[in-house]
Structures are given as C-alpha cells and as structure tokens.
A and B are shown apart, each in its own frame.
Chain A
Amino acid sequence: MIEACDGRRVVITGLGVLAPCGVGVDDFWAGLRKPAEPLVERKIPDFDAAQWGIKHVEARRMDLFAQFAVAAAVQALGDAGLDTASPYAEERCGILLGTGIGGAHAWETQTQVLLDKGPARVSPLVVPMVMPNAGAAAVSLRFGWRGPVETVCTACAAGTHAVSNGAKLVASGRCDAVLVGGSEAAHSGLMSTGFDNMKALSNSGISRPFDIERDGFCSAEAGGMLVLEEASAAEARGAHIYAEIAGSGSSADAHHLTAPAPDGRGAIASMRAALADAGLEPGQITHVNAHGTSTQLNDLTEAKAVAEVFGAGGPAITSIKGVTGHSLGAAGAVEAVALALTFHHRELPPTMGTENVDPAFEIDLVTEPRSWTPGPALSNSFAFGGHNGTVVFLPA
C-alpha cells in the first residue's frame, strides 16, 4: 500500500453485519448459501435498535441508516475484543463510513410533516438525522472515538471506498484502529420510485448476477463494519486476524451519470490500480467478490473488465447480491465482510439466483459453494456517478 509507513500492514480483526439474509456474521454466512425469496425490496428482518444498546430516545434522533451503522459497529468491536479493553487511545481511533443516500427516511417523513402539519411540527433534529455523516457521527458518539471520523458518499462504491480510505489511515500511521464500513436504509417511497422509474430495479424480484435472464437489481437495507488494526499491534494483543488489506484502487469513468463506460475502462483502471498498490500481478488473484448487481449493464461491463484484466482462466468470481440484493453504499462493506469470512471459512460463497450464466461472459462464476485455499482476492464496487473502487485482501 503506497500509504504504508515504516512497514505498517493493515489487518482485519473484527466483523459486524446486518443484511436481509442474516444479522451477525454466523447467520449472514449461513444465509449466503440459502436461496432468497423473490423480493425487489429486501429489508433487515426484525431490526430492534434496543438490542444494540440504542435507547428509545436516541433511536428517535437517528435515521435507520445510522442505527444500522451503530449496530454493525457494536458487533465488529465485540468481535475484535476492543469493546471491553482497548490498548488504543481514542484520538488514535478513526471511523470511515460509506452511505449512498444517508437519512432518506427522516428526509421523507419530515417533508410529509411539513406538508401535512406545517413548519411548527417539523423536528428540530431533521438536519442531523438526514445528513449522510450522521452514521459515522453516531458511531463516534457511541464509542468515544475521536480520531478522523469521516463519511464517503460515492453511491454504490461508498462502502469499498470507506474500507480503502480507512485502511490508508492505519497504513500511514495516523490511526491505530479504525472502524470502516457502510450502511444504507433507502427504502423510502421516493428513492424506490426513482430507482424503479429509471428501470434499474428487477421486475421479477430475482437477483441473479451474471445470468442471461438478469433484469435489474433488488434494493436492500444493510450495515457492514470491519475493525482494521496495524498488524504487529493486533498480533501483540492476540487478536484474531481474518485477512490483510494489501491495497486499493479508485477511479472514475467520466462517461455518464449512471451508465458504466461500455469498454469498462473505469473498472479496469480501478482493479489495475489496486493490484499495483498491493504489488501483485493479475495472475496471483485467485478470487473476485464482484459488484455483480444483476443489471444488464453492470454485469456486462464488469465481466468484460475482469476478462480484460485477468485474461482467460482468471479467478473464481462470486456475487453475493443474489442473496443480499444491492444495498448501495453499504454493499462494498457487506461484501468486504463476506470476503473476510470467505478467508475464515476457506470456502467461496455461491452466486445464488443465477441459473444460466450469460454465455457472452468469459468468467469462472461460482454458482455452488466451492472450497478454496485462501490467496490474494479482491472486491469490486461500481457506482452511479461513474465511481469505481477495488480493495485487495491477502491471507493473514
């Protein structure tokens, strides 16, 4: 990693996740292998803020997306063992959170209050509930972390960019530990209608990445968080290490507001930048956790880009979105959690929902769980706005 100072390496020591297929890493991992019911809007089942220590009054002041961020952070810190005893000073601990939309529920419900009941009834907290940085702020307030606390808003690449940018804080020595991830709760009527009217959503409610029949994405709520630490400090305190983050790439298409560049140039540039950052050759990558949204254009462009970067006989490719759906700014974080668990379980999760891989794609798509010897792997995210992000994991 180009930011690495004094040989510092960045490792993943804690995971937290809330997804429609499961809350907590165990249920989430098991859920990745269970077929999902056709559903174009996939919600987190039975979410209860109180379960995550969010008090009744606090919950009223936090949009759902911020509550998901806190809940995932509670899990991740507990998994890392930093919830009860931490060797790190709070000002050396940072937070990088990605979100695509931010407080969509608060925005929309308070707009309705304004229209129906007038300005006197609008919550004085509407601004701090709507603002996209509310999730990172809520996590900071909860744990008292006082280092860099920032938010990345690169739509569906935000989760991957947050993981990447947080890793750089640890690599450069600015932070000892960071919580990185993403959260999204954008099932407001307005957002859903917008996605539907732009023909991005699946009509069938089936998410089937890279399938010949793919017909759009299924939107999802989610929160995913990872704890990153400097490797030697993590080892010294006996932390369980899932994987190392060895590099990242970021690029833009500069082609179109929503459509990917048809030649995949942005995706290709992002993957190549990540490989260079990690000091790896394409042939060393054994697995790609794809963005794989199940839209016509994303999957076509991503398959082309992967084939271009890795050539024939390239890495095994999975998209977990067949189960999870697409959680926009949380997706890259949820997929980083899935990739860390892939290292842990030594098994590639399948691309559920996909029955007939589009014959135009020259990719090795994983459609059944496949045992795997951990090796260099990467995770991609691509976004409206033309943003692209890639992060590279290595076995610890």
Chain B
Amino acid sequence: MTQPVTAETVRTDAARHLGIGREQLTPGLLLGEDLGLDSLAGIELSMSLEERYQITITDDELADVSTYGELEALVLAKVSAR
C-alpha cells in the first residue's frame, strides 16, 4: 500500500462497503443500533477492511468493538503495527 492510511481513508472504505455517504459515518455511531449491522454484517465489514489493509482482526478484538470510532481506531492501530 503506497498511500498512507488515515482515519479518512478508513472511513471512506468503510462507508463504501456499507453503501452510505462518508459524512454519515461518525465515530460515535454504534455498529448495531445506529448502523443496523447484525453480527454477520459486522464480520463482513471487518473482513473487508482486513483485506483492504492486509491486517488481521481477531474475533475477540472485534467483540470488544461497539462503535464505528472504535473499529476505526483498531484498524489504524493494526496498520501502524504492520
């Protein structure tokens, strides 16, 4: 990956995966209640970002994520640890 990965790029990719506008995706949104993602949809989103950034998010790590902001932070931490 040649482009630097930032919160903005993660947000763009996550929004594209979810089929919503980037501006709609704010850090405080709950994945379940606010974004309407069931557990499988959460796994799908996580897997999509894993593939995009060549990272691995474990089931336990994903289980601790409840908001979009937490997911974004997790992805960025994984990217910087690559």
Q: Within the assembled complex, what's the spacing in Å between the Cα atoms of A56 and B19?
A: 6
Q: Within the assembled complex, what's the spacing in Å between the Cα atoms of A56 and B17?
A: 9
- Across the two chains, which residue of chain B brings its CB closest to A122? B47
Q: Within the assembled complex, what's the spacing in Å between the Cα atoms of A57 and B44?
A: 10
Q: Within the assembled complex, what's the spacing in Å between the Cα atoms of A120 and B19?
A: 23
A359 close to chain B: CB less than 8 A: no
Chain B, range 13-60, C-beta contacts under 8 Å to A? 18-19, 40-41, 43-44, 47, 50-51, 56
A121 close to chain B: CB less than 8 A: yes
Q: Beyond the given A124-B47, A125-B40, could you list 19 further A-B residue pairs with CB under 8 A, ordered by the A residue number?
A: A55-B19, A56-B19, A57-B18, A57-B19, A57-B41, A60-B44, A117-B51, A120-B47, A120-B50, A120-B56, A121-B47, A121-B50, A121-B51, A123-B44, A123-B47, A124-B40, A124-B43, A124-B44, A125-B44
* Band of interface residues on A: 10 to 19
Residues of A within 8 A of B18 (CB): 57
Question: Can you list, as one digit per residue, whether each of A52-65 has a CB less than 8 Å from chain B (1) or not (0)?
Answer: 00011100100000
How far, in Å, is A300 (CB) from chain B's closest CB?
A: 49
Which B residues fall within an 8 A CB radius of A?
A: 18-19, 40-41, 43-44, 47, 50-51, 56
Q: Within the assembled complex, what's the spacing in Å between the Cα atoms of A124 and B59?
A: 12
How far, in Å, is B35 (CB) from chain A's closest CB?
A: 10
With a 10 A CB-CB cut-off, give which of B43, B44, B50 has the most chain A CB atoms: B44
Residues of A within 8 A of B40 (CB): 124-125
How far, in Å, is B32 (CB) from chain A's closest CB?
A: 15
Chain A, range 230-276, C-beta contacts under 8 Å to B? none
Q: Within the assembled complex, what's the spacing in Å between the Cα atoms of A92 and B51?
A: 44
Chain A, range 118-142, C-beta contacts under 8 Å to B? 120-121, 123-125
Q: Within the assembled complex, what's the spacing in Å between the Cα atoms of A57 and B43?
A: 14
A–B pairs, 8, beta carbons within 8 Å: A57-B19, A117-B51, A120-B56, A121-B51, A123-B44, A123-B47, A124-B44, A124-B47
Chain A, range 79-122, C-beta contacts under 8 Å to B? 117, 120-121
